[in-house]
Amino acid sequence: MWVYQKKLQYPVHIHRPNPKLAKIIITQLGGPHGEKGAADRYLQQRYSMPFERVVGILTDVGTEELAHQEIVSSIIAQLTRSMSVDEIEKNGLETYFVDHTASVYPQAASGMPYSAATIAVTGDAIADLSEDLAAEQKARLSYDNILRFLDDPDVIDPIRFLREREIVHFQRFGDALRDVKDHLDKKNYYAYNPEFDGKN
């Protein structure tokens, strides 16, 4: 289970609203490399994972991704606070506004709603952890691309924190993949799938 803690993992305090930035940053909530997908991916991969330490990593990184979902959502909420209809129109947010008003909906920058089709839960330990390593790099590059458009230090600061976490998670999933391989046949890592073979 989870228990909510009434604090952000990293402070978000944006003095100047800027709806135009919200339009691109929202992709890290509900886009193909976003935090919501990250949380779903890692937490759902746990149930067939036979190695306890790897389940530990998936649980703790997955839980941190929930905290990142909240940080990105807080950034969107603060960037779009007290918008006038004029500002909505000027910044091209009217297509979002008609469906969601000033709420925070998980979607990509393109407008595509969050989809579990952007994540993989394969039930194969090597495939899942390779997916996780790639996912961390994809999130990192999205933050790098977002940073190209930012000049407000209030926004840059939490985005940089999130970017840095992707790199740390990449290292930790590297540990996990090594752990999986240590359990497998050294002459042929693909000789059997430890999440399926031998259990049936």
Partner 1 sequence: MNRSENMNMNMNMSNGENGYNGNTGRRNKTAKERLLYRLQVCDFALHECALYLDEHPYDPAALQYYERQKALHRELSEDYIKRYGPITYFDNQNQNEWEWAKGPWPWELNENGEEE
Binding site for partner 1 (CB under 8 A): 3-16, 53, 56-57, 60-61, 64, 70, 73-74, 77-78, 81, 153-154, 157-158, 161, 164, 168-169, 171-172, 175-176, 178-179
Q: Is 113 helix (H, G, I), strand (E, B) or coil?
A: strand
As measured in angstroms, the least distance from the Cβ of 54 to partner 1 is 8
CA-CA distance, 174 to 31, in Å (whole number)?
A: 24
CB 90 within 8 A of CB 20: no
CB closer to partner 1 out of 25 and 118: 25
As measured in angstroms, the least distance from the Cβ of 6 to partner 1 is 5
CB 193 within 8 A of CB 167: no
CB closer to partner 1 out of 156 and 191: 156
As measured in angstroms, the least distance from the Cβ of 168 to partner 1 is 6
Closest CA to 38 of 140, 175, 157, 111: 140
As measured in angstroms, the least distance from the Cβ of 115 to partner 1 is 25
* Direct distance between the N- and C-terminal alpha carbons of the chain, in angstroms, rounded to an integer: 29
